[in-house]
Chain A
């Protein structure tokens, strides 16, 4: 402040010799500066006031961590009470009070949401998201409850569309037997076997190369010699599967405790648990919903496999077997769902022959 005074003094002194125009401009300048400073101070004051107001608002103001935990406990408490009220209402179907009860619960869910909103400025974003999620879950269960308890409302709302939907369902039912006739033509394959050794040879000279299916096998050993276009595998438990090259792709679903030695252009692995794959593959293998799967290089031999691999365009080892994409793990770090088989745990090269073709 004192410096401004001095400045003003200096100006007034100077004013005597200055022209009027100049004098006015100097005066406004100093006034502006003073105003600015005042505004700035005001702003700081308002900020600090707001901050202390916020701090005193939250029940525990000592640190953000503690306010987070107190929020969480408060949130959990009211969430629990809402849930129990929903459960109670479901049991005690006292029709006269249902509407008011529903409205009450709905308003307490709204309160819960506004609590989240009010606390959102100090909560970690994860907590905000998860609490909003549970609030919307509560809303949904309330909605389903109200549609259960107040069917009348729903009915009147849907009267127009309901006949058409039932008609549709009937139509679908009529169509499904037709589907069954289509399904009669099943693809060739091994199905529903238990403790067996299953061998099949595909002659590459014959034009009947097609698809092959392995489905619902338990404790079996499967040997496929020769090439096929496509291989479908599903529902295998505790099996060992050795296959010659697949020209197209392999699709696996729902396999557990199995060992696969396979060569293919593409391979997709869904819902595999505790399985070892020894692969030669031209593109990146992918896994989805899988756990504990391990990968190693292809190690199969039978008479004429070299020609078959060549025919399928799989004669070269591209090392792609180790480039696995996990569709449920889109981060830069290694997925916990798969690993490369340690060399000392890999099986030795497997040699198969067509003895006992089935």
Chain B
């Protein structure tokens, strides 16, 4: 308990949150981060490796780790699990063919012990595309209701292209983490 309270104190001082963004390739992780940060999103190459962005959000500093989702580099996700406060799982809502893959990878991720305490935000991205599944449908396909009861989670529809829904999602995530770690001051 002693160590935990020390960690809490340090975190309180810095008001830092570590957020890990993962999801299949082509789901729009990098675009979401750049859009949040108000950067140009017109030229984004598929992520070979990872990007880190530090964003000041409300009174908190978010360290967002955006890790590439290509199949060959998914095995490296585990290297980023340590000390993650918030987990963002990004779904390409228009990619109907790979929803099974998406579910499988998410299930694997949630089995990870090191991520057990982190809040989970699921972003049903690409809602701007005609024919994309709604967040409710995505939630059904991913079978989110059957998730471990101790997990704090929420699914939010968004479009990294227009920016819609991003703030709503991150508002929830930051509040949820804050209420866990900082006990809301």
A residues sitting closer than 8 Å to B (CB atoms) are 171-172, 175, 178-179, 182-183, 185-188, 207-211, 213, 215, 229-230, 232, 234, 248-249, 251, 265-266, 268, 270, 282-284, 286, 288-289, 313, 325, 327-328, 330
Interface of A is mostly: mixed
Known: A268-B26, A286-B46, A288-B70. A248 touches B143 (CB 8 A): no
What residues of A have a CB within 8 angstroms of the CB of B42 in the complex?
265, 282, 313
Known: A172-B143, A251-B26, A288-B72. A187 touches B94 (CB 8 A): yes
Q: Is B97 an interface residue (CB 8 A)?
A: yes
Q: From the candidates A211, A215, A282, A328, name the one contacting B94 in the complex (CB within 8 A).
A: A211
What residues of B have a CB within 8 angstroms of the CB of A282 in the complex?
42-43
Which residues of B37-96 have CB atoms within 8 Å of chain A's CB atoms?
42-46, 48, 70-73, 94-96
Q: Is the CB of B128 within 8 A of A286?
A: no
Distance in Å from the Cβ of A266 to the closest Cβ of chain B? 6
Q: Is the CB of B130 within 8 A of A268?
A: no
Q: Is the CB of A186 within 8 A of B96?
A: yes
Q: From the candidates B70, B129, B137, name the one contacting A248 in the complex (CB within 8 A).
A: B129
- A182-B133, A210-B130, A248-B126 known, 9 other contacts, Cβ within 8 Å: A175-B146, A185-B133, A229-B94, A229-B129, A230-B94, A230-B95, A232-B97, A268-B46, A283-B46
Contact sample, A vs B, 18 pairs, CB 8 Å cutoff: A171-B146, A172-B143, A175-B146, A179-B140, A179-B141, A182-B141, A207-B130, A211-B131, A213-B97, A215-B97, A229-B128, A229-B129, A230-B94, A248-B129, A266-B46, A313-B42, A325-B45, A325-B48
What residues of B have a CB within 8 angstroms of the CB of A188 in the complex?
131
What residues of B have a CB within 8 angstroms of the CB of A207 in the complex?
130
Q: Is B110 an interface residue (CB 8 A)?
A: no
What residues of A have a CB within 8 angstroms of the CB of B128 in the complex?
229
What residues of B have a CB within 8 angstroms of the CB of A288 in the complex?
70-72
Most B C-beta atoms less than 10 A away, residue of A175, A182, A282 = A182
Task: Report B125-158 CB contacts with A as 1/0, cut-off 8 Å.
Answer: 0101111110001001101001000000000000
Q: Is the CB of B141 within 8 A of A284?
A: no
Known: A182-B137, A211-B131. A325 touches B97 (CB 8 A): no
Complex CA distance for A183 and B133, rounded to whole angstroms: 10
Q: Is the CB of A208 within 8 A of B130?
A: yes
The residue of chain B having its C-beta at the shortest distance from the C-beta of A282 within the complex is: B43
Q: Is the CB of A209 within 8 A of B130?
A: yes
Complex CA distance for A313 and B44, rounded to whole angstroms: 13
Q: Is B161 an interface residue (CB 8 A)?
A: yes
Interface of B is mostly: loop
Known: A182-B133, A230-B129. A325 touches B46 (CB 8 A): yes
Known: A248-B161, A266-B44, A286-B70. A230 touches B140 (CB 8 A): no
Known: A171-B146, A175-B143. A249 touches B26 (CB 8 A): yes
What residues of B have a CB within 8 angstroms of the CB of A178 in the complex?
140
Q: Is the CB of A327 within 8 A of B129?
A: no
Known: A187-B94, A282-B42. A327 touches B48 (CB 8 A): yes
Complex CA distance for A172 and B140, rounded to whole angstroms: 12
Distance in Å from the Cβ of A106 to the closest Cβ of chain B? 29
Q: From the candidates A171, A172, A234, name the one contacting B97 in the complex (CB within 8 A).
A: A234
Distance in Å from the Cβ of A339 to the closest Cβ of chain B? 19
What residues of A have a CB within 8 angstroms of the CB of B95 in the complex?
230, 232, 251
Q: Is the CB of B72 within 8 A of A183?
A: no
Q: Is the CB of B45 within 8 A of A286?
A: yes
Q: Is B25 an interface residue (CB 8 A)?
A: yes
What residues of A have a CB within 8 angstroms of the CB of B161 in the complex?
248
Distance in Å from the Cβ of B178 to the closest Cβ of chain A? 33
Complex CA distance for A183 and B161, rounded to whole angstroms: 25
Most A C-beta atoms less than 10 A away, residue of B72, B94, B131 = B131
Known: A175-B143, A183-B96. A266 touches B26 (CB 8 A): yes
Complex CA distance for A151 and B71, rounded to whole angstroms: 35
What residues of A have a CB within 8 angstroms of the CB of B26 in the complex?
249, 251, 266, 268
